[in-house]
Structure 1
Amino acid sequence: MKKLFTTKNLALMAIFAAIAAILMVLIEIPVVFIAPSFYKLDFSEIPILIGTFIMGPVSGIIMEAIKIVLKILLKGTTTGYVGELANFCIGCCLVVPAGIIYKFKKSKKGAFIGIVVGIVLMAVAGAILNYYVMLPFYEKFMPLEAIIEEGAKVNPIIKDKWSFVWVAVAPFNVFKGIIVGIVTGILYKKISTFIKKL
């Protein structure tokens, strides 16, 4: 643990988290072929996942927390602090298992397995948290029937809250995880090599 909290690592965590927060604030893309437009794809998990592979799973949790705090400071919150906590948990479900697996198997295969496990856990956690936390929050602004209706416009299979989270929310998070995994795979080696030289 002492090795994690070196001056260099603390600086790196701050930088990766700041980049993640900026990405979260500036780039939000609706994925309307998977989920209703109020579910937006952001790329904030990319720098967090890269940082987690470099410094380990505990750093991933710390960076996720800093990212959420910075995002709230920069943009405020549209989902309430409960929603931000849910976003923190969903992000951790991706980066922490990926970081743990990669820590014990530092190879392309280890990174791949870690990312796949992380994507699955993120999709499951996202569905559960949306069912119990996010959708009840959205209901304050929009009737649940209207939310389900928006989901049905994207995919007619969606008939109720349960099908909404498993047919729209879970695939949305899988799609996000795949994008994050691919970009991380492209960038990680170059960034980690550069950081080792510092």
Structure 2
Amino acid sequence: MKKISTKKMTALALMSALAAVLCLMLRVPLVPSLGFLTYDPKDVVIGMAGFLFGPWSAAIVSAISSAIELLFRGGNIIDWMMNVLSSCTFVCTAAVIYRRMHSKNGAFIGLVAGMVVQVLAMLLWNYVMDPIYFGMPREAVVAMLPAIALFNVLKCLINSVILLLIYKPISNALKRSGLIQKKEEEHVSDKKAMAVVGTFLMITAVVILLSVANLI
């Protein structure tokens, strides 16, 4: 297994800190009917990590920045899990596609695919988790799903536009500075990527079946 370089470790640490700071400092409600859902630009930074280094690095930055957010804003393991799930379904999907189609079109297609995956994933997991977390009837959660979908679409659109605008200038600047090098980019096998996707889909299916059976 290839060891992570000091420069890459430094870059990921800086990105994790920056993503956490942006999340803590800048939060904007996008859908008035769901004030508890607020937009923050941390996925832009996580997306930079994904495009520069690959989906596993993006997942690391997401996990660390969400843990930092948890320390400062409070919450529990469910908050952390939903934050990581939201970021990773969007960013890691985009990063996997961009790795295979390393072009502007690849980045655009990846971000669109990431948006679709994130919206579907968050609809499913909010349907399952919100009755447990908020103690509300599942019927009330179902009534909120269109607003939740709208929120995630708007969030992904904003992050995608910002990422498409700033990725190349920042990437070129980091490469000129020597902080990142092309040879440090991840090379994730298709089998590993499919295994992760398959595991996520299996867990989602199991949780949905349990919720439908009123076991959770």
Shift of 1:11: 0.8
Offset at residue 74 of structure 1 (A):
2.5
CA–CA separation in structure 2 for the residues paired with 1:54 and 1:135: 38
Q: Distance in 1 between matches of 2:99 and 2:2?
A: 17
Rate the CA distance shift 1:38–1:170 in 2: closer, same or farther, 3 A: same
Deviations 1:92-118 (A, max 9, x none): 000111000001111000000000000
Residue of 113, 119, 122 corresponding to 1:123: 119
Task: Measure the CA separation in 2 of the matches of 1:19 and 1:65.
Answer: 13
Query: What letter matches 2:165 in structure 1?
Result: I
Instruction: Classify the secondary structure of the residue corresponding to 2:23.
Output: helix
Q: Which residue of 2 aligns with 1:106?
A: 102
Indicate the residue corresponding to 1:42 in structure 2: 40
Contact 2:30-2:154 within 8 A present in 1 as well = no
Q: CA deviation at 1:73?
A: 2.1
Greater than 3 Å deviation, 4+ residue runs: none
Distance 1:100 1:161, change over 3 A: same
Which residue, 163, 166, 169 being the options, matches 2:148?
A: 169
Cα distance in 2 for partners of 1:37, 1:101 equals 33
Per-residue CA deviation, residues 120-170 of structure 1 (Å, 9 max, x unaligned), is 11111111111111343122xxx549xxxxxxxxxxxxx8422421x1111
Alignment correspondent of 1:155: none
Deviation at 1:21, TM superposition (A): 0.5
Consecutive unaligned residues in structure 1, runs of 5 or more: 146-158
Pairwise mapping of residues 46-61 of structure 1 onto structure 2 (< 5 A)?
Answer: 46-61=44-59
* Map of 1:72 onto structure 2: 70
Tell me the amino acid that sits aligned with residue 69 of structure 2.
Answer: K
State TM-score, norm by structure 1.
Answer: 0.84
For 1:135 and 1:84, the matched residues in 2 are separated by 17
What is the number of equivalent residue pairs in this alignment?
177
The whole-number CA distance in structure 2 between the counterparts of 1:7 and 1:108 is 29
* Cα deviation 1:166-192 (Å, max 9, x = unaligned): x11111111100000000011100110
Q: Counterparts of 1:163 and 1:124 in 2: how far apart (Å)?
A: 16
Does 2:2 match 1:2?
A: yes
Q: Percent identity?
A: 31
Alignment partner, residue 32 of structure 1: 31
The one-letter code matched in structure 1 to 2:46 is I
| Contact 1:83 1:133 survives alignment (8 Å) | no
- Give the TM-score normalised by the residue count of structure 2: 0.77
Cα separation, 2, equivalents of 1:132 and 1:14: 33
The answer to whether the Cα contact below 8 Å between 2:31 and 2:151 also exists between their aligned partners in 1 is no
String of CA shifts for 1:10-43, please: whole Å, max 9, x gaps.
Answer: 111111111111111111111135x411111111
Counterpart-to-counterpart distance in 2, 1:128 and 1:69: 23
Judged with a 3 Å threshold, the aligned counterparts in structure 2 of structure 1 residues 42 and 144 are, in CA distance, closer, same or farther, namely farther
Give yes or no for the alignment of 1:15 onto 2:14: yes
Q: Structure 2: 5+ residue runs without aligned partners?
A: 179-216
